[in-house]
Structure 1
Amino acid sequence: MKSVFTFSASREFLRTYIESLPKKGWGEIQRWADHLGVQTSYVSQVLSGMKNFNVEYSVRLAKYIGLSGLELDYFVLLTEKERAGTVEAQEYFDEKLQRLKKDSRNIADRVTKDKTLSEEEKAEFYSSWIYSAIRLYCSIGSGKTLFQISEHFGITKEACSTILHFLVQSGLCAQKGDKYLMGVQKTHVDKKSAHVRRHWLNWHIQALSRLETVDESELIYSAPFSISKKDFESLQEELTAFIADFVKKVQKTEPQQVAFLNIDLLRLKEP
């Protein structure tokens, strides 16, 4: 599916979008009509060029199919241009559309190797495991489309679009055409940060949710034990060295799947 920025007519984009869906988008027009609260015949007339969506319907439909940020702005401007009654008005919208196209290319090329997130960005990114999971999923292959991400994680396109908008704006992902790629190569939260607890909890909850479905290709292990202080320190050093090697290996690997590793080496505190 091509990016909305490659289209000069909203209905052309919508028809192409439907064609790109599984089963050629069978039933999608009905779902759009239900979401907008209109008759299917009205949506069909818009797609055929007999009618145009008003601003309210344009915004609502764009969000429903997962457009956000500049994509949303561009789509709505397309529909406004199509409703314009004079050449002067159409030229006005053309200028705004061209500026949005230029802005979209600048954002798509903004891929950095590393970046320090602001406190606000950290608060959102570490608020849920889904942000990190989607970011890592986008590192697989040549990137992922909104539809692929939505289907893979079982979330609505609107919710997925909101997350992707944040990831792109913060530099954690980048958008090229209709695909999203991983941007920043690594993120790290300092052990003294207030976000450590949430980050730790996010992935331990995921491990807990997987307990009943762990297969033979995966590993889960817990072991309470008693140990000398000297051997405890030695074990800590070995695990620290392992983590350093693990990070290097992950950075060099060819991504094919998303996984996670939880390691805890803790002393049992006396009550």
Structure 2
Amino acid sequence: MTQKSIFDFRDYKSYLAWRTGPRERRMGEKAAMARALHVQPTYVTQVVHGAAHLSLEQAECLSAHFGFSEEESHYLMLLVLRGRAGTNSLRNYFDRQIDGVLQNRLVLTNRLGAPNRLSEEDRSVYYSSWCYAAVHMALTIPALRTRVAIAQNLQLTVKKVSEILEFLERAGIAKRNGDIYEPEATEVRLGNSSHNILKHHSNWRTQAALSLDREDISDLHYSGVYSLSRADALRIKDKILEELKGTLQCVRDSKEEVLYAYTIDFFRVAPKASR
């Protein structure tokens, strides 16, 4: 079955119909849903394919049964409320609420959180060059916690690395113990509204372009241009953000051995000319 989420649907009955799957597994899923709701499987069939509607209490039960997050549960409630609405104006009201949830999910810091321990002045320095973030993340690797080791690994001068380490220590995101430096914070993130965001993106896309010359088999580069519907474009962005959350969790759980950069671009080509 193709992987989807509740956010791929604007009608809860369509979601439940997808959830029950093809005919060969339909009864098992419907039976499980019926047990969770304390109803007969025929009632689930009437909800999915007929005129019956879930109550909010039943939607809450299914959210628990599906293992939904708070955000997913809230979205299911909105879909149920829209489905139960008796007037066009009320359906339009819940449509706006649903649109708000979907739009909110497209904001990166809303999906990933916004850990940030830097002052505005320090952020301007930190994002002025790729070197600051690279040295900062290098400190998470035990073998790269001295000025010389970092300089050799990143091909920077020891003087430059020393200046960066002094800044990181002063900013409170690194600490020094003799000749050894360790990270105090490992996540610093910018929102789309920050004036540093363009510099941050351009810094690492420049490094991505330079990495093409190395032709390292462990690197990955892909570029493509597509035509697709506006709805599918938003759906793809949502899936990319969800995958990014999983990637960041994998990074958090991973042993620190090597440095990698991860850049993502998914954007509309010539937006003014393509309305």
Looking at both structures, which has the greater relative contact order when contacts are Cα pairs under 8 Å and sequence separation is at least 6? 1
CA distance in 2, matches of 1:115, 1:234: 28
Contact 1:172 1:182 in 2 (8 A): yes
Secondary structure in 1 matching 2:166: helix
Runs of 4+ in 1 over 6 A off after TM superposition: none
Structure 2 unaligned blocks of 5 or more: 1-114
Give, in angstroms, the shift of residue 235 of structure 1.
Answer: 0.7
Output the CA distance in 2 between the equivalents of 1:153 and 1:160.
9
Report the secondary structure of 2:131's partner residue: helix
- 5 Å matches for 1:40-189? 115-141=116-142, 143-189=144-190
Deviation (angstroms), 1:213: 1.5
SS at 1:197's partner residue?
helix
User: Which has the higher mean CA deviation after the structures are superposed, 243-252 or 256-265?
Assistant: 243-252
**Structure 1: 5+ residue stretches without partners:** 1-113
TM alignment of 1:226-241, pairs within 5 A: 226-241=227-242
Q: What is the match of residue 208 of structure 1?
A: 209
Q: Measure, in 2, the Cα distance between the counterparts of 1:229 and 1:217.
A: 34
Equivalent pairs: percent with the same residue? 27
Q: CA deviation at 1:143?
A: 4.9
Shift of 1:185: 2.0
| C-alpha contact (below 8 Å) 2:140/2:186 kept by paired residues | no
The two structures, once aligned, show a CA RMSD in angstroms of 1.5
Given that 2:169 and 2:175 are in contact with CA atoms closer than 8 Å, whether structure 1 keeps it comes out as yes
Counterparts of 1:151 and 1:263, CA distance in 2? 28
Give the superposition deviation at 1:162. Answer: 1.0
Deviation at 1:154, TM superposition (A): 2.6
Q: TM-score, normalised by structure 1?
A: 0.55
The whole-number CA distance in structure 2 between the counterparts of 1:258 and 1:207 is 13
Report the counterpart of residue 225 of structure 1 in structure 2.
Answer: 226
Secondary structure of the corresponding residue to residue 182 of structure 2: strand
Q: Secondary structure at the match of 2:240?
A: helix
Which amino acid counterpart does residue 149 of structure 2 have in structure 1?
A: Q
In the alignment, is the contact (CA less than 8 A) between 1:129 and 1:202 conserved in 2? yes
